[in-house]
């Protein structure tokens, strides 16, 4: 069950298909720290503007996603997730166990609730949205989840701690209410390559590392079809998401009902 939850709470790991975002030795530093910048507020505005140029907007979104998942118990079997979203309203997901070739779970997330059907064990459960935070160790509301799925950056802070520009990369560290966010952008087109979140509350010890790659053209925007995700607190979870199919702004249905004969978990 946790696989299904983490698919939509994804947050970047290391795999044989790693999308490399490290700065190469050829890169030469142009700007280094905030102390050299003068007007950091103006810089933050410019950076937000640059990031905003690649912001993906949508009304509906659907996708087939191959999910690889590993936690403290080792690598789990791959699954296919069929996902549908209506902006600011609902996230619907059907999770198929590839080794069984059947639908194992169905989920629906609204602004305040999560509904889960476990078809393997004939169980149903209902939770408040805070359940995702318990699993992912990251505070996530519906809007943030949808931004995360689409590939837009999340938790971009209101102030800049550091800024560095190299030949190939722009690195910006921002601080918000909850997290310090080290964002890596491609220097030539401002596409987000990596987002490293660290909890400001050291007692929480929460970190999330998201890597974005294999961008596909989407009109005037680009969609990252490959994600690597690592979430860590007391335990560590690694996820790889490969978007095999995806569509924007199509008419969608969200079939969901809790079977009366299923036990409540």
Domains parsed from the chain with CATH numbers: 2-245 (2.50.20.10)
Compute the radius of gyration of the chain from its Cα atoms.
19
User: CB–CB of 186/45 below 8 Å?
Assistant: no
All residues at 6 or more sequence positions from 156 whose CB lies less than 8 Å from its CB, including other chains: 48, 51, 174, 176, 181, 183
Helix (H, G, I), strand (E, B) or coil at 7: helix
pLDDT at residue 3, as a whole number: 39
Extract the residue ranges of the chain whose pLDDT is less than 70: 1-41, 44, 135-138
pLDDT of residue 77: 79
Task: Work out the mean pLDDT of the chain and round it to a whole number.
Answer: 80
CA 181 to CA 198: how far, in whole Å? 7
b/e per residue 46-59 (b: at least 16 CB within 10 A): ebeeebeebebeee
Angle made by CA atoms 186, 231, 3, in degrees to the nearest 5: 115
What pTM was computed for the model?
0.81
Q: Which two tokens stand for residue 113?
A: 């609730």
* Secondary structure of 10-60 in HEC code, one letter for each residue: CCCCCCCCCCCCCCCCCCCCCEEEHHHCCCHHHHHHHHHHHHHCCCCCCCE
Q: What is the pLDDT of residues 153-163, one digit of tens each?
A: 888 888 888 88
pLDDT digits (tens, 9 = 90+) for 51-72: 778 899 999 999 999 988 887 7
């Amino acid at each position: 069950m946790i696989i299904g939850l983490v698919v939509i709470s994804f947050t970047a790991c290391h795999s044989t298909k790693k999308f490399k975002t490290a700065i190469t030795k050829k890169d030469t530093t142009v700007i280094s720290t905030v102390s050299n910048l003068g007007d950091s507020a103006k810089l933050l505005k410019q950076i937000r503007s640059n990031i905003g140029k690649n912001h993906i907007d949508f009304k509906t979104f659907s996708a087939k996603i191959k999910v690889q998942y590993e936690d403290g118990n080792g690598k789990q079997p791959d699954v296919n997730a069929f996902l549908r979203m209506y902006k600011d309203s609902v996230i619907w997901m059907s999770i198929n166990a590839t080794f069984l070739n059947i639908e194992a779970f169905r989920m629906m997330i609204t602004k305040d609730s999560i509904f889960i059907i476990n078809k393997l064990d004939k169980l149903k459960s209902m939770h408040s949205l805070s359940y995702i935070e318990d699993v992912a160790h990251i505070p996530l509301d519906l809007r943030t989840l949808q931004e995360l799925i689409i590939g837009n950056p999340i938790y971009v802070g209101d102030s800049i701690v550091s800024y560095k520009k190299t030949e190939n990369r722009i690195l910006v560290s921002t601080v918000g209410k909850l997290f310090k966010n080290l964002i890596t952008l491609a220097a030539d087109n401002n596409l987000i390559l990596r987002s490293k979140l660290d909890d400001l509350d050291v007692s929480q010890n929460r970190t999330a590392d998201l890597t974005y790659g294999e961008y596909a053209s989407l009109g005037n925007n680009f969609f990252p079809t490959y994600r690597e995700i690592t979430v860590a607190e007391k335990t560590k979870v690694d996820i790889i998401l490969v978007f095999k199919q995806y569509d924007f702004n199509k008419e969608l249905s969200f079939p969901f009902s809790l079977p009366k004969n299923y036990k409540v978990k």
